[in-house]
Amino acid sequence: MDIILGIKTADSVIIATSKAATRGISVLKANDDKTRQLTEKSLMAFTGESGDTVQFAEFIQANVQLYSMRENVELSSKAISSFVRNQLAQSLRSRKPYQVNVLIGGYDENKEIPTLNWIDYLGTNIELPYAAHGYAAFYTFSLLDRHYKPTMSTDEGLELLKQCIKELTTRMPIDFKGVYVKVVDKDGVKEIDF
C-alpha cells in the first residue's frame, strides 16, 4: 500500500513517499520515511516487503558511501542506478531475492541535468520523466501523462504533485498519512513542507 512518486522537472527531481508503514490493513507507523540520501545530490526512494526494503536501502547507502571514501569520487546517479540494478538482478538468482522497488533521483553536475531512474525488483532499470511504484501508478499516470511537460519548473512540478496526491486521497481506500516530499537539485537534497 506504499506510495512512491517521482517527477523530473527542468532543474530538479521531486520524490514523494507515503508516511504510513502498513501491514495488510493495519497502519504500523504514521511517520515512516521511505527514502535514503545516497550522496549529496542523489536520493533513493523504496517500497516492497518491510524487512527487505530497510535492509536493502542501508546496504546500498553504505556501499555508495564506501566507494566514495575509497575512490575519493562521488558516484553519479547513473552509476548508482546501475549498481542498484545489478544488486537486485544478482539477488534475483539467489535463494532469498530482495522484493524491493526503487526510484533514484539525482542531479548530474557534469551535464547539469536531473535524472530519475525507475528500478523494479526484477532488476529493470529505465530513466523516465516521471515514475511511480505501488498503487500510486494506477491512479496518477493519467494525470502525469496529461499535464507533464519536460520544461516545467520545480514549482510547477510541485503543483502537479499536489494534483496527484489529491487524486490518491480521493480514490484510495486507505489513509496513507500524507507524504514526505524531497527535492534534488543543483544545491543538493532538501525536504519540502507539503
**Is residue 3 over pLDDT 90?**
no
Which helix (H) or strand (E) covers residue 102, if one does?
Answer: strand 100-108
| 189 band by pLDDT with thresholds 50, 70 and 90 | very high
| 112 band by pLDDT with thresholds 50, 70 and 90 | confident
Query: What domain range includes position 80?
Result: 3-192
In degrees, rounded to 5, the angle at the alpha carbon of residue 73 between the alpha carbons of residues 17 and 188 is 35
Residue among 158, 169, 170 at smallest CA distance from 194: 158
**Is residue 161 over pLDDT 80?**
yes
Could you give the percent of the chain with pLDDT greater than 90? 71
| 14 band by pLDDT with thresholds 50, 70 and 90 | very high
145-154 mean pLDDT = 95
What is the reported pLDDT for 49? 86
Buried b / exposed e over 157-175, threshold 16 CB at 10 Å, is bbebbeebbeebeeebeee
Distances (CA, A) of 159 to 50, 127, 165: 30, 22, 10
The answer to whether residues 11 and 186 touch, using CB atoms and an 8 Å cutoff, is yes
Split into its structural domains, the chain has a count of 1
Residue among 26, 41, 38 at smallest CA distance from 65: 38
Domain CATH for 24: 3.60.20.10
| 147 band by pLDDT with thresholds 50, 70 and 90 | very high
For strand 26-29 and strand 21-23, is the pairing parallel, antiparallel, or unpaired?
Answer: antiparallel
Q: Which carries the bigger pLDDT value, residue 49 or residue 182?
A: 182
Q: Which stretches of the chain are DSSP H helices? A: 50-71, 77-92, 135-147, 154-171
The answer to whether residues 21 and 10 touch, using CB atoms and an 8 Å cutoff, is no
**Is residue 191 over pLDDT 90?**
yes
Question: What are the pLDDT digits (tens) for 29-79?
Answer: 788 889 999 999 999 999 988 888 999 999 999 999 999 999 999 899 999
What is the reported pLDDT for 1? 66
Total-model pTM: 0.91
Residue among 39, 48, 35 at smallest CA distance from 122: 48
The SS3 of residue 16 is strand
166-190 mean pLDDT = 89
User: What is the crossing angle of helices 77-92 and 50-71, to 10°?
Assistant: 130
Separation of alpha carbons 75 and 86, rounded Å: 15
91-119 mean pLDDT = 92
DSSP-assigned letter for residue 121: T
Separation of alpha carbons 133 and 123, rounded Å: 14
Bridge partner list, 14: 7, 183
What is the reported pLDDT for 172? 83
